[in-house]
Structure 1
Amino acid sequence: MAVSLWVRADDGCRLWAASLGTGDPLVLCHGGPGLWDYFDDVAELLRATIRVVRWDQRGCGRSQLRGPYSVARSIADLDAVRDQLAGSRTALLGHSWGAHLALRYAMEHPDRVSHLIYVSGTGIDPGRDWHPHYERNLRLRLGDHLDRWEELRARARTPSEDREQAVLQWSADFADHHTALDHAQRMATPWLGVNEDCNRAVNADVKKEIAGDLAGRCRQLDLPVLIIDGAEDIRPRWAVDSLYEALPDAERVIFPGAGHVPWVERRDDFHRAVTTFLVRRR
Structure 2
Amino acid sequence: MDLFVRERGEGPPLLLLHGLFGSADNLGAIARNLEADYKVISLDLRNHGRSPHVEGMSYTAMAADVKLILDKLDIGKCHVFGHSMGGKTAMQLALDAPDRISRLVVGDIAPVSYGNHHSDILQGLRTVAESDAVSRTDAEAILADFVNEPDVLSFLLTNWRRGNNGKGHWRIGLDAIIGGYSEISAENTGLAVDIPTLFLRGSLSDYIKPEHREAILALFPKATVRTVEGTGHWLHAEKPELVARLINRFLSNDL
TM-score, normalising length: structure 1: 0.71
**Does structure 2 retain, via aligned residues, the 8 Å contact 1:35–1:195?**
no
1:28, distance to aligned residue in structure 2 (A): 1.2
Residue 105 of structure 2, aligned match among 117, 121, 129:
117
- 1:256/1:206 CA distance change after superposition, 3 Å: same
Q: Which residue of the partner structure matches residue 177 of structure 1? A: none
**Does structure 1 retain, via aligned residues, the 8 Å contact 2:47–2:174?**
no
Residue 227 of structure 1, aligned match among 174, 182, 199:
199
Alignment pair present for 1:241 and 2:213:
yes
Alignment pair present for 1:27 and 2:5:
no
Q: From the two aligned structures, give the one with the greater helix fraction.
A: 1
1:74, distance to aligned residue in structure 2 (A): 1.3
- In the aligned structure 2, how far is the partner of 1:53 from the partner of 1:150? 29
Q: Which residue of the partner structure matches residue 105 of structure 1? A: 93
Q: Which residue of the partner structure matches residue 204 of structure 1? A: 182
1:80, distance to aligned residue in structure 2 (A): 1.3
Per-residue displacement from partner, 1:196-246 (whole Å, max 9, x unpaired)? Answer: 223134432245x53x8x3x72xx211100001111125463464333332
- 1:187/1:263 CA distance change after superposition, 3 Å: farther
Q: Counterpart of 2:81 in 1: which secondary structure?
A: strand
Q: Which runs of 5+ in 2 are unaligned?
A: 162-169
- 1:153/1:92 CA distance change after superposition, 3 Å: closer
Q: Counterpart of 1:280 in 2: which secondary structure?
A: coil
- In the aligned structure 2, how far is the partner of 1:232 from the partner of 1:112? 32
**Which structure has the higher relative contact order (CA within 8 Å, separation 6+)?**
2
Q: Counterpart of 1:200 in 2: which secondary structure?
A: helix
| Structure 2 counterparts to residues 83-162 of structure 1, below 5 A | 83-85=71-73, 87-124=75-112, 131=116, 152=124, 155=127, 156-157=130-131, 158=133, 160=136, 162=139
Q: Counterpart of 2:14 in 1: which secondary structure?
A: strand
Q: Which residue of the partner structure matches residue 264 of structure 1? A: 237
- In the aligned structure 2, how far is the partner of 1:16 from the partner of 1:154? 24
| Structure 2 counterparts to residues 180-191 of structure 1, below 5 A | 181=151, 185=154, 188-189=157-158, 191=160
- 1:166/1:120 CA distance change after superposition, 3 Å: farther
Aligned residues, how many? 238
Q: Which runs of 5+ in 1 are unaligned?
A: 1-8, 140-148, 173-179
1:73, distance to aligned residue in structure 2 (A): 2.2
- 1:268/1:154 CA distance change after superposition, 3 Å: closer
Alignment pair present for 1:253 and 2:240:
no
**Does structure 2 retain, via aligned residues, the 8 Å contact 1:167–1:185?**
no
Residue 78 of structure 1, aligned match among 58, 66, 73:
66
Which amino acid in 1 is paired with 2:175? D
Per-residue displacement from partner, 1:67-117 (whole Å, max 9, x unpaired)? Answer: 454333212210011122361011111111111111011101001111111
- In the aligned structure 2, how far is the partner of 1:152 from the partner of 1:187? 10
**Does structure 2 retain, via aligned residues, the 8 Å contact 1:224–1:250?**
yes
Which amino acid in 2 is paired with 1:225? T
Which amino acid in 1 is paired with 2:23? W
Q: Which residue of the partner structure matches residue 247 of structure 2? A: 274
Q: CA-atom RMSD, angstroms?
A: 3.4
Q: Which residue of the partner structure matches residue 36 of structure 1? A: 23
1:25, distance to aligned residue in structure 2 (A): 0.6
- In the aligned structure 1, how far is the partner of 2:251 from the partner of 2:146? 34
1:121, distance to aligned residue in structure 2 (A): 1.2
**Does structure 2 retain, via aligned residues, the 8 Å contact 1:167–1:184?**
no
